[in-house]
Copies of this chain bind each other. A is one copy, B any other.
Amino acid sequence: MDARFPPSNTESPWLPFESRRRARDEKREAVLRAAVQLFLEQGYHRATLNDVAKRLNITKPALYNYFRGKDEILFECWSIGHELVDECIAETSAGAGSGLDKLRKLTVRYAELMTTDYGKSLVRFDLRDLSEHNRKTVQTAKRRIDRAFRDYIASGIADGSVKPCDPKLAAFAIAGSLNWIGHWFQPGGELTGRAVAEEFAIRLTDGIAKTTTRTTSTRKAAVPAAAKADKPPRKGNVGNASREDGSEHHTRTAAGAAGQSKRARGRLR
């Protein structure tokens, strides 16, 4: 397993009907973990909120203490995935190297992300299931991701590390291939996420690299070991989910687990 993508803690904080009392955010995230798993396993429309609740040893209405509706749960799953991508891009952009180097770094990171649940939610969920407002948020974010790929390619062409090509189409080709990982990769298979990621990074960038990198150049440098603090604190409230109104009741747990992002609260009261 990888340190950057923690093993997703598959157990429910709700013990079958006993001493319950744990941090709210922890429960919220447990709901999301159960939801993303079910949505991936069964598909968003086949997975019911009863299913989600059952997997957590609670009942459906309890979910509404944390979320306003099914589509918001979907959005928040997507949103976590998006934050992870954004970290990949930020790390890559912060580092040094040619355009090609950065393209490769991003490719490795992105590929590996696609082997995780929240990564998959970026490409397996249907935007049309979201509310108008959230859909726009997602679309904007997706464009930003696409931009990162294109920018690296373009800068690679500029600095001579990448063959001249249409950055738009090249980005589509690479990102498409990576996105597809989210459709076929199964954690239990013969390939590990890491292996797939590294292979794809080479395979996909070799076609446009000016110097064919046969032996691995991006091997050990893949995980920079930085930005790997224990709990990667989600920065800011990216894609906040407050549906229409900006009302954000912070009624409780003002200091809820130091640096834990304050995501949109469930149900207004």
Residues on A facing B (Cβ under 8 Å)? 42-43, 45-46, 126, 128-129, 165-166, 169-170, 172-181, 183-184, 191, 196, 199-200, 203-208
Contacts and interface: CB of A to CB of B under 8 A. Distances in A.
Contacts of A183: 176, 179
Contact of A203 (B169, B178, B200): B169
Contact of A173 (B42, B129, B200): B200
A173 B165 contact: no
21 contacts: A42-B128, A43-B126, A43-B129, A166-B199, A169-B191, A169-B199, A169-B203, A172-B184, A173-B177, A173-B200, A176-B176, A176-B179, A176-B180, A176-B183, A176-B184, A177-B177, A177-B180, A179-B180, A180-B180, A203-B207, A203-B208
7 tightest A-B CB contacts, nearest first: A176-B180, A207-B207, A177-B177, A206-B207, A176-B177, A45-B45, A173-B177
Given A173-B204, A176-B177, A176-B181, 17 more contacts: A43-B129, A46-B128, A165-B203, A169-B200, A169-B203, A172-B177, A172-B181, A172-B184, A173-B203, A175-B180, A176-B176, A176-B179, A176-B184, A177-B177, A205-B207, A207-B207, A207-B208
A183 B179 CA distance: 11
Nearest to A182: B176
Residue among A129, A166, A169, A203 facing the most chain B CB atoms (10 A cut-off): A203
Interface of A: prevailing SS: helix
Quick one: copies of this chain in the complex?
2
Nearest to A165: B203
A197 to B, nearest CB: 11
Contact of A128 (B43, B128, B165, B208): B43
Contacts of A184: 172, 176
A170 B203 contact: yes
Contacts of A176: 176-181, 183-184
A207 B199 CA distance: 12
Contacts of A165: 203
A128 B169 CA distance: 31
A200 B45 CA distance: 33
Contacts of A208: 203, 206-207
A123 to B, nearest CB: 8
Nearest to A196: B169
A191 to B, nearest CB: 8
Nearest to A184: B172
